[in-house]
A and B are shown apart, each in its own frame.
Chain A
Amino acid sequence: MIALLGNPNCGKSSIFNILTKSSRKIGNYNGVTVDYKIGLFKDKKIVDLPGVYSLNPYTSEEEITIDFIKKNKIDLIINVIDINSLNRSLYLTLRLQDLNIPLIVVLNKCENNNSIDIEKLEKILNIKVIKISALKNIGIDNLKKEIIKSNYICNYRIKLNNDITSIYRKIDIITSEVIKNNIKKRNSFVLILKYKYLFIILSIVMFILVYYFSINVIGGIITNSINNIMIYISNYLLIILNKFNSSIILKKLILDGIINGIINTINFIPQLFFLIFILSIIEDTGFISIIAILFNKLLNKIGISSKSLYSLFLATNCSAMALLSTRTIKNEYERKKVIFLIPLIPCCAKISIIFFIISSFYHNSFLIFLSFYLIMILIIVLLSIIFKKNKSRLIMEIPHLKMPSIKVAYKESITKTKSFIKRIITIMIFISILNFLMSSFSTSFTYVTDIKKSILYFTSYKFSFIFKPFLGINSPSIFLSIISGLFAKEQVVSTINSLKVNLNYITAYTFCIFNIFTIPCINTLSIMKKECGIKLTIFYNLIYLLISYIISFIIFRLLSYFV
């Protein structure tokens, strides 16, 4: 096994993606990777690990790396170093000697940094040093050659004593010899902080514009044309089915259930794709750190630290991913609090529900969209204040801002969208068949045509009274669509469409609110259990249920009263 090891944000996952043709998440901040992944390059196993500063783990994702290194047989360590911070990164390199594992050093991000004398560095360390740029694909072949060699030898030895200060002294001497001319990275964020309030307003405007654009421009134009294509396809399918003289039951199952459900969800894919794309562009510039600093006073007032903002930001993409990222939060109380807040933030799947509701009931009104977000922010701020505790200690590296890579963002959004579509299709088929069986058979398992005699009606009628207080109607299909949301939230839209649920413009609103705040999808639940234990997971979910119920009830009453 070959391990990619290095400080956070030096480009390990980028290199891993190139070598193994994978699509690990990449971002310009520390702690993007929080779990290990093994991939294959030719016949060699390569593992991508969370970044570490030393062999003494400080946060729990660092622990994962150190554990992995100690428990597995590693044949070669590829020590990745960001060439711009050689001065700090060599500490890990020198410490890695203690492990007695063959080592090569890879200086990444070298595309516009030519200031280091590689031969000299090689000689001093007595380790093979390779200069590459994972971003611009420079020097990758040299790295590959080195990996293929496979008679890795372990011949480094710089005498060290255990005192950290003296190790850094040694590093200072090494770097003064190998760095020819010191390239200082400009700290553009200092300028931004000078005009703090201007940038606070700008960043709020930016986010509003992104959503506005995706709803009104993309939602308006592209989604409509896709819709037409989809209608054409489903008509075509109908013709084919007719040709084969297939039974009405099959037509009902395939056309109404599966196709209809899938088509109506796929409608929102362009909007989601755009959103994910823009979010990953923002992530790749490192701008989130700036937002974290700009808003740190405000966040502190409600008891959220700048570090937690990363996880909350990721939650706008996917709750499960955001939950994993909380591993980088050192303070346990704060970590559990952030875990609690994450599912309340609409992820892309939940956004598809919002998109659906506002496009079907409110003519894509941006104000209605904003109102969902304002309610969400209000609730999160309230809960956050309720669970506020003393400030926690915070230490966080701020990455240098960089130009975003369109390629990286595009790749990430494509991967995300693909898995999104795959999930919709597989679950939709499952739900449709289930729905078909449940609505076509009675409790004594005989085939019925009257839905009132079916299992579906029988079972969901029993439970659907639960939803009556905030939806006003007692409908089995609503029950089924909310349940289907437990598999994956985007499923709610498909199920509503294939079951032709009756909503009006009031109940559509409360239905959406309920879905935003209620229990998250199974995937999120299982990660939640892993990250904070079964007891807390159950407790949190009871609260989600309570919150979603109470809020949608209040809103239903208010709307019915005033509108």
Chain B
Amino acid sequence: MKLMNLKIDGLGYIKYINIKDNSLKLHLLEIGLVYNTKVRLLYKDSNIVIINYRNINILLSNDIANNIEVYDSFIR
């Protein structure tokens, strides 16, 4: 499911990032949004989402958040 579609305060685990722009994709991975990372959705509106992961908060515009797929539970 899409990161965007998590409920507020809902948990997800990163599945993959579907972004063509390679430098952006690399950046997202390097700041820790790697496979199976636990993220919590804190806030969303029509432009942005805010997520919490690894004890930090980041704001993503919707066009980025739209292209991040998450699982709803941890995959072993």
Give A contacts to B, CB under 8 Å: 53-54, 56, 58, 84-85, 87-88, 91, 164-165, 168, 184-185, 187, 189-190, 193, 293, 296-297, 300, 305-306, 391-398, 400
- Chain B residues with Cβ below 8 Å from A305 are 61
Q: Which residue of A lies closest to B31 (CB)?
A: A53
Contact of A395 with B43 in the complex, beta carbons under 8 Å? no
- Chain A residues with Cβ below 8 Å from B60 are 394-395
- Chain A residues with Cβ below 8 Å from B37 are 168
CA distance in complex: A184, B59 (Å): 19
Contact of A164 with B34 in the complex, beta carbons under 8 Å? yes
Q: Which residue of B lies closest to A307 (CB)?
A: B59
Produce 1/0 per residue, B39-72, CB < 8 A to A.
0001101111010101111111101100000000
| B24 proximal to A (CB < 8 A) | yes
Contact of A393 with B32 in the complex, beta carbons under 8 Å? no
CA distance in complex: A550, B53 (Å): 51
Q: Which residue of B lies closest to A87 (CB)?
A: B54
Known: A54-B30, A189-B57, A395-B24. 6 other contacts (CB 8 A): A58-B27, A87-B32, A87-B55, A190-B42, A193-B43, A296-B47
- Chain B residues with Cβ below 8 Å from A391 are 47, 61, 63
| B26 proximal to A (CB < 8 A) | yes
Q: Interface SS of chain B: helix, strand, loop or mixed?
A: mixed
Contact of A88 with B57 in the complex, beta carbons under 8 Å? no
Q: Which residue of A lies closest to B24 (CB)?
A: A393
- Chain B residues with Cβ below 8 Å from A297 are 45-47
Distance from A188 Cβ to chain B, minimum over Cβ atoms (Å): 11
CA distance in complex: A518, B13 (Å): 52
Contact of B27 with A168 in the complex, beta carbons under 8 Å? no
Contact of B43 with A190 in the complex, beta carbons under 8 Å? yes
CA distance in complex: A416, B21 (Å): 41
- Chain A residues with Cβ below 8 Å from B24 are 58, 393, 395
Contact of B28 with A395 in the complex, beta carbons under 8 Å? yes
Contact of A184 with B42 in the complex, beta carbons under 8 Å? no
- Chain A residues with Cβ below 8 Å from B48 are 293, 296, 306, 394
Contact of B55 with A91 in the complex, beta carbons under 8 Å? no
CA distance in complex: A189, B24 (Å): 26
Contact of B54 with A293 in the complex, beta carbons under 8 Å? no
- Chain B residues with Cβ below 8 Å from A88 are 31-32, 54-56
Distance from B29 Cβ to chain A, minimum over Cβ atoms (Å): 5
Contact of B46 with A396 in the complex, beta carbons under 8 Å? no
- Chain A residues with Cβ below 8 Å from B59 are 293, 306, 394-398
Contact of B58 with A397 in the complex, beta carbons under 8 Å? yes
Interface residue tally for chain B (C-beta within 8 Å): 31
Q: Which residue of B lies closest to A400 (CB)?
A: B57
Can you list 29 pairs linking A and B with CB atoms under 8 Å apart? A56-B26, A56-B27, A87-B32, A87-B54, A88-B32, A91-B30, A91-B32, A165-B29, A165-B34, A187-B42, A187-B57, A193-B43, A293-B48, A293-B59, A297-B45, A393-B21, A393-B24, A393-B64, A394-B59, A394-B60, A394-B64, A395-B24, A395-B28, A395-B60, A395-B61, A395-B64, A397-B57, A397-B58, A398-B58
Partner of B52, one of A58, A91, A187: A187
Q: Which residue of B lies closest to A289 (CB)?
A: B59
CA distance in complex: A165, B45 (Å): 30
Q: Top 8 nearest A-B pairs by Cβ distance?
A: A394-B61, A398-B57, A54-B30, A87-B54, A58-B27, A165-B34, A88-B54, A164-B29
Contact of B56 with A85 in the complex, beta carbons under 8 Å? yes
Contact of A85 with B29 in the complex, beta carbons under 8 Å? no
CA distance in complex: A114, B67 (Å): 38
Contact of B34 with A395 in the complex, beta carbons under 8 Å? no
Contact of B55 with A184 in the complex, beta carbons under 8 Å? yes
CA distance in complex: A185, B59 (Å): 17
- Chain B residues with Cβ below 8 Å from A84 are 55
Partner of A185, one of B30, B46, B47, B55: B55
Q: Which residue of B lies closest to A292 (CB)?
A: B59
- Chain A residues with Cβ below 8 Å from B21 are 393
Name the interface residues of B1-51: CB closer than 8 Å to any CB of A: 21, 23-24, 26-32, 34-35, 37, 42-43, 45-48, 50
- Chain B residues with Cβ below 8 Å from A296 are 45, 47-48
CA distance in complex: A88, B56 (Å): 8
Contact of A395 with B42 in the complex, beta carbons under 8 Å? no
Distance from B59 Cβ to chain A, minimum over Cβ atoms (Å): 5
